[in-house]
Amino acid sequence: MPRHISRIITAGGAAAALAVALGAAPSFATTATTWSVKPGGAVAASGHAQVKDSKTGTVAKCKSLKLKATLKKGSGLAGAKIGTIKSGSFTGCTIGTIAVKVAVHGLPWHLNATSYKSGVTTGTITGIDLKATATGCSATLDGTGAGKNNGKVKVKYSNGTGKLTLLGSGGNLHDWAVSGCLGLINNGDPEHASGVTTITPKQTIKGS
């Protein structure tokens, strides 16, 4: 049956993978100009994620998303590149019953804080580039083109729960360099990444 792959997540990618900090700002959040992070330093993110092709409806799921990152520490920090994702892995990935392998490219990815409200930081993970392969199918998940390393997802981090959540919409992920895949995904299709990861050690991130 269809061998193909749908793009697959990312990062970040619960991208996310991705690690630590920050995502799509709710309308009630206020834009912050400086940030504090405690304790900062090396962190790990562990959880699950998926991506959905908004044109075809194809969903690729990964049972395990693991990221390793470094957060800046202290106060008076800029929100841009407040964290750096140095490594990531996506395993147990499938489209329906079809196994999908996902390779992580474009590292390091970056965590960017933009807004803060009541213990929740919102922002983005940027630099995402993923290559997904399945029997008879391959594709790249990126921003404006294959190998551009500019894929972006919106995320939020909660001080109370220590959870980093990929918010599903608001990013720029698309399918590129699609080969095979029987129409399950197509070049230029928008992809929405969602998922949840737990950050260890738990962080306290605040904006002002």
pLDDT digits (tens, 9 = 90+) for 23-63: 333 445 678 889 999 999 999 999 999 999 999 999 999 99
Instruction: Please state the φ and ψ torsions of residue 182, each to the nearest 5 degrees.
Output: 50, 35
Order of strands across the sheet with 35-38? 74-77, 35-38, 204-207
Report the pLDDT value the prediction gives residue 23, as an integer from 0 to 100.
39
Mean pLDDT value across the chain: 89
* Alpha-carbon distances, residue 169 vs 24, 101, 155 (angstroms): 8, 24, 9
Asked if the model's pLDDT at residue 5 lies above 60, the reply is no
Provide the 3-class DSSP secondary structure of residue 183: helix
- Domain chopping of the chain, boundaries: 30-207
Distance CA 155, CA 157 (A): 7
Structure tokens at 56: 């075809």
User: What is the pLDDT averaged over residues 109-133?
Assistant: 97
Q: 158-174: per-residue pLDDT in tens?
A: 999 999 999 988 899 99
Question: 140 and 7 in contact (C-beta within 8 Å)?
Answer: yes
Instruction: Please state the φ and ψ torsions of residue 181, each to the nearest 5 degrees.
Output: 75, 0
User: What is the pLDDT averaged over residues 16-21?
Assistant: 35
User: Structure pTM?
Assistant: 0.85
Q: 163-205: per-residue pLDDT in tens?
A: 999 998 889 999 999 999 999 999 999 999 999 999 999 999 9
Distance CA 189, CA 5 (A): 13
